[in-house]
Every structure is written in structure tokens, then in C-alpha cells.
Structure 1
Amino acid sequence: MKTILLSRPLTNVHVEEIARQFAMPDLTLPFWGSRKKMPMHRIVRLEGEGNYTLFHFADGSQLMVSLTLKKMESRLSPKVFARPHKKNIINLLYLEALHPDHQQLSVSLVNGDRIEVSRRKASRFIKQVRGFQQELLVLDAKPTTPMLVAA
């Protein structure tokens, strides 16, 4: 099995910058009788467990909410989040490598998680990853904040 490394891992500063450029809002989640705002770009992946969704965050913390994965998918940015399998949604900012195999494609994330890609969703998932990488190249090519020159 040949592993395809995608690019260098993104730093927290780079993730914050990309989230700003993609205009990724905070996600309001129901949490113990109240609501809690969570930055969307800090979510590494979402894992469906029946009528619940388990959030895995970049800092290693987890949070379970009583909403289905399908409901959560509609609230996420489609530019950055991909659903490689019916049980998982991943944030492409945290994608580390693709692991193609003649039987099964899987991906590894920067937090060490390894997720299988369903055969039915594999081609669309790979297209989404390539499109996302192209978008990152375009963002990298754009100059960031313009420098001010004193007159």
C-alpha cells in the first residue's frame, strides 16, 4: 500500500488564516440545556453515533451533542468539510495523508485518527480533496495583508 502525503501539516496560525479567508463562522451547538459557540475551524472530525454526534477538536477534546450527523453536515462549510463515510465528516484542514489500497481507501488526520473512505464515495471524496488543495494553492498565491507605505 502506497501512502500519499498531501502537504506539510498546517500550523494553528495558518488554519486560523484559512478559516478567515473561507469565512468559516462559529458553530452554535446545544450543550446541557444551553448553547455553546465553537469555532468551526477547530473541529478535526465529526463521528456519528446514532442520534448523537461526537466532535473531535484540534486540542484533543471531544464533545457529544444530541444532533444527527446529517443535521450537522448541513451546518458545516462544504468547502472545508467532507464526508468520506456515512459515519464520519472530516475537516480537510487536518487531512494528513491518503492511503490507497486495492480494496479500501483510507485517510489519516493530523491527530492520528485513521478514517476509511467508502467505496461509493471515494471518487467524489478525492475530487473534493483535489479541489480543496487547489483552493489552498490559490490562497497561498494571494498576498496577505497589503503593506502600508508611509508618504
Structure 2
Amino acid sequence: MAEGKSCTFVQLFTNSLLIMKIYELAFTKKGVAGLRLPCTGGKVFVPLSEIVRLEGRRNYTLIVINAHPPMLVAKTLGLFETELSNSFVRIRRGCIINLLHASVGHDGFVRQKDGFAAPVARRRAKQPALLIQAA
């Protein structure tokens, strides 16, 4: 058996709830646009400027957050699409990106600062937001 202090499940759970509350209090300011995402023990507020991209995984959505671990939420991409601002663009069926964290190349790919690259669907390549970003 390893030496050291062991934590019970209850201690780990309360610690994670405390961390989520601190994160929520740090980002809940008046005038900041964001999403309230369901999480264990409540909801977490994430500002839209911190969201890098949303990836569809069947009936779940993987939300990649800047400088934080990704969150898996039991909502589809279509439900998030209506809640997001104009800086978010759906580049293909399973991916919505934040243009504030991305650059669009002339080769048909969107590259993000974290190294993620995805091709833009042919029929979505003519979206005005993507054309402006590529110019």
C-alpha cells in the first residue's frame, strides 16, 4: 500500500464542488456573456470568450475551454448553436468554432491556437464570417 494520505469519495466530491464554485464566482460578472453548463452538483458559468470550440459526440457535446479541461455535456450541438454569439461559426456538422481563437486558411482548413485543425465543409465555406476571416 502506498504511503500518504488517502481521500474518501466524499472528500474528493466536496473538493471538486468547491473548485467549481470558485470558478463560477470568478467569472459571474454583470455584462459578461456566457453559458451555464450542467455539471455534477449544479451548473458552472463559462464566459463565451473562454470557449475555444464545441465538438459534437452523438447526443453529447465536448466543450473545449481555454486553459481548462474540456467538459462533456448531455446536449446536442444544435441546442448550443442558438445560444452562442456571432463569433461562433459551425464549420461542419460536428464542430462549432470560436473565431476569436482560430485562423482560417485559404486551403479550406481552420486552425486553432491549441493545434486543432479541421476542414471546412464545402457548403459552409461561403459563410460571410469565414470569408472575412480568410481575407
The answer to whether TM tops 0.5 is: yes
**Post-superposition offset of 1:98:** 1.3
* Residue matched to 1:115: 118
Matching of residue 88 in structure 1 with residue 91 in structure 2: no
CA distance in 1, matches of 2:65, 2:77: 16
**TM-score, normalised to structure 1's length?**
0.63
**Post-superposition offset of 1:93:** 0.2
Runs of 5+ unmatched residues, structure 1: 1-22, 135-151
* Residue matched to 1:128: 129
- Decide which structure has the larger Cα Rg and report it: 2
CA distance in 2, matches of 1:24, 1:83: 22
For the 8 Å contact 1:24–1:41, the answer to whether it is kept is: no
AA in 2 matched with 1:89: I
AA in 2 matched with 1:47: E
**TM-score, normalised to structure 2's length?**
0.70
Aligned pairs for 1:43-62 within 5 A: 43-62=51-70
Query: Higher relative contact order by CA 8 Å / sep ≥ 6: 1 or 2?
Result: 1
Tell me the SS of whatever aligns to 2:83: coil
For the 8 Å contact 2:54–2:77, the answer to whether it is kept is: yes
Q: Select the residue among 68, 75, 98 that pairs with 2:76.
A: 68
The alpha-carbon distance between structure 1 residues 120 and 31, as it changes in their structure 2 partners (threshold 3 A), is same
Tell me the SS of whatever aligns to 1:123: coil
Runs of 5+ unmatched residues, structure 2: 1-30
* Residue matched to 1:29: 37
What is the aligned-residue RMSD (CA, Å)?
Answer: 2.1
Q: How many residues are treated as equivalent by the alignment?
A: 105
The alpha-carbon distance between structure 1 residues 33 and 67, as it changes in their structure 2 partners (threshold 3 A), is farther
Tell me the SS of whatever aligns to 1:59: coil
Tell me the SS of whatever aligns to 2:126: helix
